[in-house]
Structures are given as structure tokens and as C-alpha cells.
């Protein structure tokens, strides 16, 4: 289902604004803070249609709206872009990946810190073959997000992470395009092959309201950097 241009503009604004603020968005906010030239009444009607079609939901009767899983999926497929990570992030990635030939464990530990630091998500590297291991970091960053003020969700996330090694096999897809999984939590993953240990996966996990665009861009950049080093050597 392809949305009309105006609906896409409003959905794009709501997803991006909600990712940054964790606050439901009203029609007044759309009119005041977006660059979409429409009246509040028009914005309200379009948001109602997006709600009725399953792209938005209203968490409270008098509140604004937030994206649904369907809304995020539409945004990722049709509205998000692959962007070049900031220069500082690229430099940190290069420093970590340059150590792969010397000490894989140190390189993967450093890489998990780099991803977590730049994305503010629980991130890391999983070795999928032979000596299976996961190098990860960033749990504290994730738990600072407002969603995790809810104790039950925090426990659920911790349980998910504890069983992450089993989950990586299900999410593995040999593709040069980072994969995105959206459920109770959001996850972006990208695969690469190391000449010494085989298939590996980069991953970043957070609340459903995570910045999929930023995560997909940085993970793809990192995977491509590793792959290019493998080809060159």
C-alpha cells in the first residue's frame, strides 16, 4: 500500500519526531514544527486516516499519536535513507577494524563499544560459527530510554539479551543489506565474513522507538569496511 505524498510527509515527520522525543505527536505539533504547509484541521484528518489504516496509534485518549509497527515498517521501506555516518564514527570504526588481523577479540570488543557509543543502543558482534561468542556493550544506554521505566519491559529486554545467541541464528540472512526486525523491541543486523572465523553479525537492539535509519547506516558502513579489508588482504 503506497501512501499519498501528504500522508507520507506527515508519517515521516511523526516517526522522526517520536524517535527523538519519545512524546506522542499532536496535529498542532505537526503544523508548528514540521515544514508541511497545512492547517491543524487538515493534519488532524490525515493523522486520523493514518490511524485508521494502522500506521499510527493513540496511546491515550487525549494524547497525540505515535507510530505503530506497520508505521515503522513503511518508514523504513519507503522514507528512510542510507546516510554516511559522522566523521568521528567512521574514524572509530576504522580504528577498531584495523585490529582484526592482530587480535579479533580486542577488535570485536572495541567495535561493540563504538557501535553502542554512537547509536546509544545495545550493540555488538556475534560469531555465528565454530567458537560461537557474542561481544556486546550498551545495556546502560538502552535502559536510560523512557520505555524502560516500565519494570516488566526492562525484565523482558534483559531476558531477550540473555538468549541473544539463539536469536542470532534465526535472524541471520546472508544479504549485503542490513536486516531490520521490529517487535516488542527493534533490532538491526548486518552480516560479514571473517577469513579466520567465518560468518559474523553486527547488531544493535533497543526499544521499538529506535533510530533504525542511523543504525542501519552505521552497521552497513561497518560491515562494508570489514569486507573491504578482507578483500584487500
Q: What pLDDT score does 198 carry? A: 86
pLDDT at 147 over 60: yes
Q: Using CA atoms, how far apart are residues 34 and 27, in angstroms rounded to an integer?
A: 10
Asked whether 221 and 84 are in contact (CB, 8 A), the reply is: yes
Q: Using CA atoms, how far apart are residues 219 and 178, in angstroms rounded to an integer?
A: 7
Give me the chain's average pLDDT, please: 92
* Residue 41 banded pLDDT, cuts 50, 70, 90: very high
Domains within the chain, CATH numbers bracketed: 5-79 (1.10.10.10), 87-232 (3.30.450.40)
Pairing of strands 185-194, 198-207: antiparallel
Average pLDDT over residues 54-80: 92
Q: What is the pLDDT of residues 184-198, one digit of tens each?
A: 999 999 998 888 888
pLDDT at 232 over 60: no
By residue count, the chain amounts to 233
The answer to whether the pTM exceeds 0.75 is: yes
Q: What pLDDT score does 160 carry? A: 92
Residue 60 DSSP symbol: S
With 0-12 / 13-18 / 19 or more C-beta atoms within 10 angstroms meaning exposed / middle / buried, residue 88 is: exposed
Residue 79 DSSP symbol: I
* Residue 227 banded pLDDT, cuts 50, 70, 90: confident
**Torsion of the alpha carbons at 129, 132, 134 and 135, rounded to the nearest 10:** -90
Residue in 232, 217, 233, 227 with CA at minimum distance from that of residue 97: 227
Q: What pLDDT score does 62 carry? A: 67
Q: What pLDDT score does 194 carry? A: 80
Q: Using CA atoms, how far apart are residues 142 and 140, in angstroms rounded to an integer?
A: 5
Amino acid at each position: 500500500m503506497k501512501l499519498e505524498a501528504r500522508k507520507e510527509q506527515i508519517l515521516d515527520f511523526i516517526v522522526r519526531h517520536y524517535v527523538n522525543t519519545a512524546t506522542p505527536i499532536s496535529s498542532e505539533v505537526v503544523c508548528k514544527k514540521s515544514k508541511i504547509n497545512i492547517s491543524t484541521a487538515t493534519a488532524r484528518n490525515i493523522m486520523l486516516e493514518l490511524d485508521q489504516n494502522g500506521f499510527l496509534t493513540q496511546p491515550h485518549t487525549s494524547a497525540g499519536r505515535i507510530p505503530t509497527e506497520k508505521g515503522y515498517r513503511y518508514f523504513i521501506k519507503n522514507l528512510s535513507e542510507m546516510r554516511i555516518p559522522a566523521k568521528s564514527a567512521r574514524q572509530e570504526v576504522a580504528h577498531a577494524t584495523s585490529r582484526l588481523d592482530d587480535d579479533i577479540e580486542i577488535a570485536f570488543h572495541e567495535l561493540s563499544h563504538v557501535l553502542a557509543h554512537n547509536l546509544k543502543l545495545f550493540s555488538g558482534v556475534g560469531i555465528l560459527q565454530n567458537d560461537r561468542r557474542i561481544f556486546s556493550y550498551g545495556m546502560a544506554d538502552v535502559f536510560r530510554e523512557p520505555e524502560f521505566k516500565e519494570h516488566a519491559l526492562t525484565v523482558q529486554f534483559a531476558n531477550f539479551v540473555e538468549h541473544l545467541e539463539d536469536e542470532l541464528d534465526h535472524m541471520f540472512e546472508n544479504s549485503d543489506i542490513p536486516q531490520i526486525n521490529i517487535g516488542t523491541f527493534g533490532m538491526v543486523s548486518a552480516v560479514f565474513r571473517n577469513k579466520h572465523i567465518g560468518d559474523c553479525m553486527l547488531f544493535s537492539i533497543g526499544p521499538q522507538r529506535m533510530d533504525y535509519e542511523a543504525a542501519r547506516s552505521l552497521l552497513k558502513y561497518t560491515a562494508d569496511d570489514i569486507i573491504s579489508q578482507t578483500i584487500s588482504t
